[in-house]
Chains A and B, each alone.
Chain A
């Protein structure tokens, strides 16, 4: 992993920071993949026999409009799993580059290793932006793993594979996760690590545990170009703002 390029070196630093969370999340993806198989098979049977499909179709309007037909259930359950995974993974992978990741922060303002990072020949903006890119890379990797696993499981259990819709859902979850990570990165710059950690977990818990939050999350991950564009723009704006604040903030 040795390199003389500062960019390669800084990504190596971020990889060291993210590898444990990436490993844990990958294991979770594998476990969720098994659950996905059981879920699709069982739910498909249930909806086929109960006639309860109309209610579910209403919930996944954007997916339905993509004409998935009999593949609605696999696509909808993939959306559910991906929404959950996207939130969890982006919370785990978020961070500002000057200390541990959000989930590893202690009660101090910043981890003292921030001074080591700041003594490296990189600007703070470079550290922050590359950290966001690295976090996004890890998020893409685990969501990609999840997609491949779900498609494989659908093929094994001989269910229809709405690949285009599932890939779109994965991309939307990744972009939503990028937005959440950019938001946490911005909070980390303008406030303390503790506060940004609390706000991040507050946001994630609100999305997970409240009906309205969860409905919005599931709604978000259904592929739509307008939402995709808005999320990318918002993420870019927050990342740029973080870089601007980082230039003049005392560590």
Chain B
């Protein structure tokens, strides 16, 4: 796999173990959803990738250039979890300032986004609404013409129209310029809408990684009926819920394999169909 970002065995401890051998890859030219419950380690991972914090162990390779450096930062667009900008600058000044650092600045895109996002250029950053701050932070990241966009909850505070505009913009960036996008979110619908790759994290480590199609194929929602209380549920069968004799859960084994496995125990597989992303997420989050 041609990777834009490689994270290997990151360990980071604050007052608790925030990252516990976090490892994953992000393919070049993909839109990668970075999912996980609160406190799973998403923001800590992104901060280490960006060079804001340092890991106790492990390594990061960004765009094949090793750990983050000022040279690599020329090729990165970043939106942090908290979208606060300079309290001493106006919105227009933030744009002028950021332009100065990026020779590949996309003026046309800037003009389009200024129109679409309705950013008041003369307003002080402290006076902007939460949504406008987010839109400005996104403009500052996307217009850098970066090779890799790292966005920490980019749609937080955005109304549905702006959120949809952003989603379309990201897809357009990938289609036009082969940009790689890594975005963390709690919105599964956003991942389903635009992502083609997904990394799910929990308890400081990546628990699921792959293309969305792959993940959907790997996870089946299976319904079985059991005659015997002593039937053991295989490990591959997770997030199950019991309702009398019926058991419903997710499996990453093919229905035929499951049927064969359960047949010996006198269990019947009633049906199996691809799981939704939400079901996969909930099953992983419960582990």
Contact = CB atoms under 8 A, between A and B. Distances in A.
Given A112-B84, A118-B50, A13 B74 contact: no
Given A17-B88, A104-B87, A113-B85, A118 B101 contact: no
B82 A4 contact: no
Nearest to A127: B70
B88 A12 contact: no
A58 interface: no
Interface string A97-130: 0001000100000011101101111110010000
Contacts of B51: 118
A16 B103 contact: no
Given A2-B100, A9-B101, A16-B93, A116 B74 contact: no
A70 B130 CA distance: 63
Given A6-B101, A100-B87, A251 B80 contact: no
Interface in B88-138: 88-89, 93, 96-103, 137
Contacts of A113: 84-87
B80 A121 contact: no
B100 A6 contact: yes
Given A6-B101, A9-B101, A121-B74, A115 B89 contact: no
Given A115-B82, A119-B50, A250-B54, A12 B100 contact: yes
Given A17-B88, A111-B87, A113-B85, A120 B101 contact: yes
A192 to B, nearest CB: 15
A101 B115 CA distance: 33
Given A16-B88, A100-B88, A104-B88, A5 B54 contact: no
A119 B86 CA distance: 13
A251 B52 contact: yes
A119 B54 CA distance: 15
Interface residues of A, number: 32
B53 interface: yes
Interface in A2-48: 2-6, 8-10, 12-13, 16-17, 19-20
Contacts of A121: 70-71, 73-74, 101-102
A225 interface: no
Contact of A5 (B53, B80, B93, B100): B100
B139 to A, nearest CB: 12
B75 to A, nearest CB: 9
Interface in A135-182: none
Contacts of B137: 116
Interface string A180-213: 0000000000000000000000000000000000
B231 to A, nearest CB: 50
Contact of A16 (B71, B78, B97, B99): B97
B76 interface: yes
Contacts of A9: 97, 99-101
Nearest to B72: A121
B73 A120 contact: yes
A122 B70 contact: yes
Interface in B39-97: 47, 50-54, 69-71, 73-74, 76, 78, 80, 82, 84-89, 93, 96-97
B96 A111 contact: no
A209 B78 CA distance: 46
Nearest to A17: B88
Contacts of A250: 52-54
Nearest to B81: A115
Interface in B212-264: none
A201 to B, nearest CB: 19
A2 B86 contact: no
A12 B84 contact: no
Question: Which residue of A1, A115, A251 has the most chain B CB atoms within 10 A of its CB atom?
Answer: A115
Nearest to B150: A119
A17 to B, nearest CB: 5
User: Which 10 A-B pairs have CB atoms at the shortest separation, nearest pair first?
Assistant: A9-B100, A112-B84, A115-B80, A121-B73, A119-B78, A250-B53, A112-B82, A251-B52, A121-B74, A121-B70
Interface of B: 47, 50-54, 69-71, 73-74, 76, 78, 80, 82, 84-89, 93, 96-103, 137, 140
Given A2-B100, A9-B97, 14 more contacts: A5-B100, A9-B99, A12-B100, A16-B97, A17-B88, A20-B88, A113-B86, A115-B50, A116-B137, A116-B140, A118-B50, A119-B80, A120-B98, A126-B70
9 contacts: A2-B100, A6-B101, A16-B89, A16-B97, A17-B86, A116-B80, A116-B84, A121-B70, A121-B102
